[in-house]
């Protein structure tokens, strides 16, 4: 890896985020098994508190099954507006330490602290300081993974959950990845994991035994990525342009969702983000696109072009809901939803006043 840049990356991940927010805001829920989601006959668990997890209650579990496993389970409906507000608070805390922030979901982000604003010497101590600030300001626990690239930092953050942190040092990366089951690799979805299992690839060490050309022959463009991560090489920079307030906004749910109301709320939250951007930038657009990434990593998009630009938040809500409703009830779990506006009518005066806005949409 001569000449390769060694970064200091932290992956911060809130613990049982939705459920923890509910327990924070309602003292009656503390210490009890809580499921965020709808307890109705066709409902599905969106997130579970640690108390509920002890009974095997997990995301995507049908509510009836969850109740059978844990008769005292308390269902609370999701409040995405609150989760978004907490997420913004957390991002404010990240910004006290670095500008290089890449949000992955409401409760998860990569931070590059190679040079950190607080002048803290190590990434380990920086992660501790960030987690302490999050607890102080939000009353919530976060876990963190610390390493020299994003791939390893994300793997590390799960190792000491809840309320812990774990580091993978540069000399430890290769051994860590060699021992790792292939299904745990970020970027290896269930379908790819199955294909790898059929090829006899079960761990990072198995993957490492494959040549670049063989991997490319079997997996196409992804072959290069698999070749690199088998050696714990990941040169991706923390991508700060993944700004939430842009013409496109998307979120990966904490847990795959099937509940129609929860999915619709997620879409509305993204529409709100996009509308906030419209108001700030003075841009208006005619085409609304809703993107859905399913639990099996397949993707669907639904678009609708209006005769006139969208002029208000309610109108964007209405268009976005009509689009998401066209794929509901969800035939499988929903991993991610996004809302994007395109076909702009340009307001040049306002655009010039906001030269740093990112106008590219994820759908591009």
Contact positions toward Mg ion, by CB under 5 A? 13-14, 17, 107
| Minimum distance, C-beta of residue 131 to Mg ion, in the bound complex (Å) | 13
**CA–CA distance, 210 with 290 (Å, rounded to integer):** 38
Query: Alpha-carbon torsion 38, 43, 45, 51, what sign?
Result: positive
Instruction: Give whichever of 12 and 182 is closer to Mg ion, judged by the CB atom.
Output: 12
**Torsions phi, psi of 63, nearest 5?**
-60, -40
Is the CB of residue 145 less than 8 Å from the CB of residue 10?
A: yes
Query: Which H or E element spans position 139?
Result: none
According to DSSP, the residues that pair with 9 across neighbouring strands are 112, 147
Q: Which of 22, 102, 108, 250 is catalytic?
A: 108
Is the CB of residue 266 less than 8 Å from the CB of residue 105?
A: no
Instruction: Give whichever of 16 and 180 is closer to Mg ion, judged by the CB atom.
Output: 16
Instruction: Give whichever of 36 and 278 is closer to Mg ion, judged by the CB atom.
Output: 36
Instruction: Give whichever of 154 and 264 is closer to Mg ion, judged by the CB atom.
Output: 154
| Minimum distance, C-beta of residue 17 to Mg ion, in the bound complex (Å) | 5
Active site residue 108: yes
Task: List strand residue ranges (DSSP E) for the chain, in order.
Answer: 9-14, 34-37, 45-48, 74-76, 101-105, 108-112, 142-147, 165-167, 248-257, 284-294, 299-305, 334-345
CA dihedral 46, 52, 54, 58 (to 10 degrees): -10
Active site residues: 108
């Amino acid at each position: 890896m001569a000449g390769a840049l060694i970064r200091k990356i932290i992956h911060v991940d809130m613990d049982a985020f939705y459920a923890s927010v509910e327990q924070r805001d309602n003292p009656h829920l503390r210490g009890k098994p809580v499921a965020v989601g709808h307890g109705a006959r066709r409902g599905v668990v969106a997130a579970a508190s640690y108390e509920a997890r002890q009974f095997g209650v997990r995301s995507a579990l049908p509510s009836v099954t969850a109740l059978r496993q844990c008769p005292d389970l308390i269902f609370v409906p999701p409040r995405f507006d609150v989760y978004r507000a907490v997420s913004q608070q957390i991002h404010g805390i990240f910004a006290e330490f670095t500008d290089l922030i890449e949000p992955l979901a409401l409760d998860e982000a990569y931070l590059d602290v190679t040079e950190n604003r607080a002048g803290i010497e190590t990434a380990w101590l920086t992660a501790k300081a960030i987690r302490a600030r999050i607890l102080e300001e939000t009353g919530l626990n976060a876990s963190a993974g610390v390493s020299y690239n994003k791939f390893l930092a994300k793997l590390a953050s799960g190792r000491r959950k809840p309320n812990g942190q774990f580091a993978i040092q540069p000399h430890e990366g290769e051994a860590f990845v060699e021992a790792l089951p292939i299904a745990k690799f970020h970027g290896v979805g269930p379908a790819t994991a199955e294909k790898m299992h059929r090829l006899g690839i079960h761990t990072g060490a198995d993957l490492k035994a494959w040549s670049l050309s063989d991997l490319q022959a079997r997996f196409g463009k992804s072959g290069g990525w698999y070749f690199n991560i088998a050696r714990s090489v990941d040169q991706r920079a923390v991508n700060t342009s993944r700004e939430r307030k842009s013409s496109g906004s998307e979120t990966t749910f904490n847990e795959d969702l099937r509940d129609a109301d929860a999915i619709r709320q997620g879409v509305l939250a993204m529409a709100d983000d996009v509308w906030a951007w419209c108001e700030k930038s003075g841009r208006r657009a005619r085409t609304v696109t809703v993107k859905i990434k399913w639990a099996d990593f397949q993707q669907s998009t639904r678009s609708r072009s209006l005769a006139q630009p969208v002029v208000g938040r309610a109108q964007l809500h209405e268009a976005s809901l009509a689009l998401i409703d066209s794929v509901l009830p969800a035939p499988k779990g929903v991993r991610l939803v996004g809302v994007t506006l395109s076909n702009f009518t340009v307001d040049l005066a306002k655009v010039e006043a906001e030269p740093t806005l990112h106008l590219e949409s994820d759908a591009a």
